[in-house]
Structure 1
Amino acid sequence: MGNYFNKEPPPPLVLVPPLFDFPPLAARTRMLESSYNLLFGKLALKCLFEDYFEEARHFSTRIMLKPTDDPNVDLVATVSGPLDNKPEGKVLGNALFRWQGDVDDPHTFVDLFVSNYEPVLRLRSCSYYPTYGFGSFVIFPLQLKRRIASENYGVVGLRHSSENLSLGATFVPFSTADKCPTNAWLVSKIGRLTVGVQYEPQCGSKDYTRFKNLRNWSCAIGYGVGTGSPLSPSFIFGLELAKSSQFIASFYQHVVVQRRVKNPLEENEVVGITNYIDFGFELQSRVEDVETSNGLPDSTFQVAASWQANKNFLLKGKAGPLSSSIVLAFKSWWKPSFTFSISATRDRTVGKTALGFGIHVENIREASYERADPNFVMLTPSKEHLAEGIHWRSGKRPMLQSDLNSENFDGLPRELRPYGNIL
């Protein structure tokens, strides 16, 4: 009886809401892409600058579903178009059917893409063998109205990827006009530094002399801090010289903070909630002669920030020299989840503001740690000293902050782990 009356109160807890979109959908097909195009913060900045920012006076609807009986397959369908009835407006629709060999490993898959625009029908396949680090992929447009570019005849790629090295090349073996690589890259990671070079032939004759043209080469260097888990703060700074004609400087920062929460629906021991704040900046400047810039601006920039206040609300904004936009998104974690977003874009060239709308339905990425789930709670200190130490708990296995710093994510839900340790 004495132990019953002297029972200690439960420790204060800080909620850990799921991220709106993690891992990003682009990570599912990253083995088809050049690592050079995804590293140096490019993937994170792309998600920050583009996700939920609908085109002015347009709508988009995306449905991402998978059957409960077979989680290895899923379907992603998208419909977008203008809100008005102007004759030049066209409603675009596409669907992507995907088979994935391992539910937890997105690097080996086959997908079939159909749409009412080019390409009308496309097949993609990728195989990756993590034991050896080698992978291969093929992208073949099955139906096109006209095959103009060499890529319209199909693309075959080979790659080697490990934690510190990525190299690969793509070819168009079905084209009789050109047998040279259409893309080649080499990226290496040394500690917190990442350096890379990429070859994309666009200038010069159709022979091997194109390798000597500097306009076909790009190089970049990046400095990054963080584990890649959304629960870890991260910072990425990158410098790139693209096509020997454009200089790009960018940085991206992901911040994990806690704030006090006063919600009568929560338990008494819940004293705080985790928020996710992202900030990104990109500056592009032309380094070639102004006379050869074809009327393009010498430099441009864009800056964006997002704040996820809880598991239901996300606020984003971005600004550039010609326009600025703001987005408010609401997400309900039903099964499937439902997301509604409204964006306002201010075009400063004409002085008008227009709205865009988006609706997403999904059960591909499911959160397993919503609200005050007792299977995963976080105890962390704040400025108000809500707790004395940092302690993670997943199921019956305690997880300390030292485990997170040492990149031991075995005790975390799958959605909170880094989306891959392959460069």
Structure 2
Amino acid sequence: MGNWINKEPPPPMVLVPPLFDFPPLAARTRMLESSYNVLFGKLAMKCLFEDYFEEARQFSTRIMLKPIDDPHVDLVATISGPLDHKPEEKIIGNALFRWQSDIDDPHTFMDLLVSNCDRILQLRSSAYYSKYGVGAFGIFPLLMKKRVSSDDYGVLGLRYGSANLSFGATIVPFPLKDEFPKSAWFISKMGRLTAGIQYEPHYGSKDGAMYKNLMNWSCAIGYGVGSGSPLSPSFNFGLELAKSSQVKNPFEEDEIVGITNYIDFGFELRTRVDDANTSNNIPESTFQVAASWQANKNFLLKGKVGPLSSSLSLAFKSWWKPSFTFNISATRDHIVGKSGFGFGIRAENLREASYQRADPNFVMLTPNKEHQAEGIVWKIGKRPLLESDVNSENFDGLPKEMRPYEKIL
């Protein structure tokens, strides 16, 4: 009883909320992609410009569940369609079942997709051996309503990756003439500078040598400052020449003396470099600016502005098990002069949040007092990441999908 009365009050702390969606779901399947399609800030740009921006007059729902008894498997189900459903419009439903042999190795897995769209049943598999830096992957449509192109018969791929180098190629089992390989990429990293090139034969040439057609080649260069940790500010610049391009917290306890906010900002410019004839409805160039602000663990505000359209999105997340997220977005089409709303609902327990707290200097001087924060969930899972950890590049507390492995570019 005396210990309870004389209990030392909790030390002052700075709240570091968990990120809304970290790591991005796309990171789970990055070994099924060309490294060219993931690097150069493309993953971060996709999250900023696309996530939680629903199309006008559209809805989407997503459920992501992992059984407690078997963490090797999980299920992701999605349903999307128009709000004002008409007989000629279709509601799209997908279900993805994934099996992962090692829960600490997200790069070796197998999943099965069932859909009511064209690819009714599809199998995907990936195996990557980080010790040797080699991997293989495949995408196989098992049931389809109609097989038109060579892609409809599947894709096989091989890759090699190290700390500063990545190259690989994909092929189709039944390639058409001059369609070998389906794609190939080569990327090299020198310090903070990353450069890469990718070949995808989509355009023919008079002599049949598709590799001579510059429209089948893409190249990019990127410069990045900052670590792989979301708690450390970073700066990324990317320039790509792409083939066929189109253009203080009042809700916290008294001992919380501050809160970390997450702010993301991005600018994207797309323009044509050739004089090909285009439709009047397709602009020669366009740009868009986007920004997001996560005020705390529950609220996220995003917006993007461009000459074609502008959108604003607000998302609310509850950190129950499973967690629930609701978002609503408004879109203004500047071309036709109309506005529309969309909304989405998500439920998941795939990604575990790390609810982190530290003292005002981000250095935990008395880690043995962690339990003294009365009525507060100090953390979930591993020990919190502090600024000292970030500066020393100690990323053991980061999710395995996005941890900056030394052997993978």
- Whether the TM-score (by the shorter chain) exceeds 0.5 is yes
Residue identity in the other structure for 1:321:
P
Q: Is the 8 A contact 1:392 1:399 kept in 2?
A: no
Which residue of structure 2 aligns with residue 254 of structure 1? none
- 1:8 deviation in Å? 8.0
RMSD value, Cα: 2.7
Q: Which has the higher contact order (CA 8 A, sep 6+)?
A: 2
Does structure 1 residue 124 correspond to structure 2 residue 121?
no
Which residue of structure 2 aligns with residue 257 of structure 1? none
Q: Is the 8 A contact 2:23 2:399 kept in 1?
A: no
Which residue of structure 2 aligns with residue 391 of structure 1? 363
Residue identity in the other structure for 1:292:
N
Measured in 2, the distance between the counterparts of 1:56 and 1:311 equals: 27
Which residue of structure 1 aligns with residue 373 of structure 2? none
Which residue of structure 2 aligns with residue 418 of structure 1? 403
Does structure 1 residue 262 correspond to structure 2 residue 238?
no
- 1:403 deviation in Å? 3.2
Residue identity in the other structure for 1:293:
T
Q: Is the 8 A contact 1:391 1:399 kept in 2?
A: no
- 1:323 deviation in Å? 1.2
Aligned counterparts, 1:232-311, within 5 A: 232-243=232-243, 260-263=248-251, 266-289=252-275, 291-295=276-280, 296-311=282-297
Change (3 A) 1:181 1:342: same
Q: Is the 8 A contact 1:100 1:108 kept in 2?
A: yes
Secondary structure of 1:22's partner? Answer: coil
Measured in 1, the distance between the counterparts of 2:18 and 2:193 equals: 29
Residue identity in the other structure for 2:29:
T
Q: How many residues align?
A: 391
Which residue of structure 1 aligns with residue 327 of structure 2? 341
Secondary structure of 1:28's partner? Answer: helix
TM-score (norm. length: structure 1): 0.86
Which residue of structure 1 aligns with residue 103 of structure 2? 103
- 1:268 deviation in Å? 2.6
Secondary structure of 1:40's partner? Answer: coil
Secondary structure of 1:311's partner? Answer: coil
- 1:49 deviation in Å? 0.8
Name whichever of 101-110 and 207-216 sits farther off.
207-216
Which residue of structure 2 aligns with residue 42 of structure 1? 42
* Partner deviation per Cα, 1:295-350 (whole Å, 9 max, x = no partner): 43110111111100010111011111121111111100110000011111112223
* Partner deviation per Cα, 1:3-42 (whole Å, 9 max, x = no partner): x999986542111111110000000000010111111111
Secondary structure of 2:210's partner? Answer: helix
Q: Report the structure, 1 or 2, having the larger strand content.
A: 1
Change (3 A) 1:269 1:342: same
Name whichever of 17-26 and 204-213 sits farther off.
204-213
Which residue of structure 2 aligns with residue 251 of structure 1? none
Q: Is the 8 A contact 2:205 2:213 kept in 1?
A: no
Q: Is the 8 A contact 1:409 1:417 kept in 2?
A: no
Which residue of structure 2 aligns with residue 385 of structure 1? none
Which residue of structure 1 aligns with residue 380 of structure 2? none
Secondary structure of 1:344's partner? Answer: strand
Which residue of structure 2 aligns with residue 255 of structure 1? none
- 1:201 deviation in Å? 0.5
- 1:179 deviation in Å? 5.8
TM-score (norm. length: structure 2): 0.89
Q: Is the 8 A contact 1:80 1:91 kept in 2?
A: yes
Residue identity in the other structure for 2:186:
L
Measured in 2, the distance between the counterparts of 1:176 and 1:246 equals: 23
Measured in 1, the distance between the counterparts of 2:134 and 2:208 equals: 26
Which residue of structure 1 aligns with residue 378 of structure 2? none
Q: Which residue, 359, 365, 368 being the options, matches 1:379?
A: 359
Which residue of structure 1 aligns with residue 76 of structure 2? 76
Measured in 2, the distance between the counterparts of 1:176 and 1:6 equals: 79
Measured in 2, the distance between the counterparts of 1:138 and 1:5 equals: 63
Measured in 2, the distance between the counterparts of 1:130 and 1:208 equals: 38
Q: Is the 8 A contact 1:40 1:237 kept in 2?
A: yes
Q: Is the 8 A contact 1:377 1:393 kept in 2?
A: no
**Structure 2 gaps, min length 5:** 369-382
* Partner deviation per Cα, 1:183-222 (whole Å, 9 max, x = no partner): 0001111111110000011112599721121111111000
Measured in 2, the distance between the counterparts of 1:58 and 1:6 equals: 58
